[in-house]
Amino acid sequence: MQIGNLQVHNFLALGPMAGVTDWAFRTICAQLGAGVTVTEMVSSRALVYKDKKSAALLRKNEGSLCGAQIFGNDPDIMAEGARLALEISGCDFLDINMGCPMPKIANNGDGCGLMRTPELAEQIVKAVTKAVDVPVTVKCRLGWDKGSINVLDFAKRMEDSGAALLTVHGRTRSMLYSGVADWDMIAKVKQELSVPVIANGDIVDGQSAVRCRNWTKADGFMIGRATFGNPWVFDEIKAYFEGREFTPPTTEERIASAIGLVSAIVDLKGEDRGIREARGRAAHFIRGMRGSAEIRAALNSSTSLQEFKSILENYI
């Protein structure tokens, strides 16, 4: 599959998620079968104003095609933010977030808020595609709420404005992450567009990925919350498509990945901040294990990387 001038051989994509898809987690997912990864969303305005914390989110991972995702609602600032994001990261493509449903983003006219102003969204895509020389992609939802589902018109506008690919989450902004993703609407978008369409929403394993492919005829799949503590989901889906048996990770492998993730976060952010941020992340990896509640409690009181490692290693 082509995204602009990029050849994509594996379009199982890790969905960008704030506070989750940092460089450390993206690297693990790429190692375990994600063919495409996208950074956490970064404010275009923050990049233009030289915010160092925002720039740090754009570190490109190896092992997959990697896109830099930005958000904002001013065409000129988005264009300059896109140029800076690529200059900082060296990423393979630029993704525009038009799907974030969180109130502090969407209510400000950013993220999914742009689906209420499609003419402005068109201006943004045109400005960004003119400013950069890599493919520009767009991630959106079905619309603001069930009374204003406009994804068919919106997606066509994005394609006509220069977007090389659309990722569609099959929920409205008002649904957040509740209810059931509407794959019928994703199928309709796929029928309308000539650029690739990626399906997002309720793809959690091999069976659901195959059902989504048959249902939507989408060109690829983006997996988000199903990766929490389970980066092996990419290999599981690949195995299902390839007709081979998938071997679930052992307890030792789950613990090793948790330790690897926490160590990388500490390297990135320092021990004090890294440990605080990593507690919840590591808890996902031990979910469902015998005695996981006790382990979580111990991790939540740990204050050093060595203590963190010891708790997990002693569990094995």
- Among candidate residues 29, 66, 91, 100, the one labeled active-site is 100
- Find the length of the chain: 316
- Determine how β-strand 93-98 pairs with β-strand 42-43: unpaired
| Rounded distance between C-alpha atoms, residue 231 and residue 251, angstroms | 14
Q: How many CB atoms lie within 10 A of CB 156?
A: 16
E strand or H helix at 236: helix 233-242
Q: How many CB atoms lie within 10 A of CB 34?
A: 32
φ, ψ of residue 36 to 5 degrees: the values are -135, 135
Q: DSSP label at 151? A: H
| Rounded distance between C-alpha atoms, residue 36 and residue 32, angstroms | 12
253 contacts: CB under 8 Å, gap ≥ 6: none
307 contacts: CB under 8 Å, gap ≥ 6: none
Q: Is the distance from CB of 82 to CB of 47 less than 8 angstroms?
A: no
The gap between the terminal CA atoms of the chain, to the nearest Å, is 42
Burial annotation 189-213 (CB, 10 A radius, 16+ → b, else e): bbeebebbbbbbbbbbebebbeebb
Does 100 qualify as catalytic in the annotation? yes
Q: How many CB atoms lie within 10 A of CB 76?
A: 14
Q: Is the distance from CB of 147 to CB of 178 less than 8 angstroms?
A: no
Catalytic residues: 100
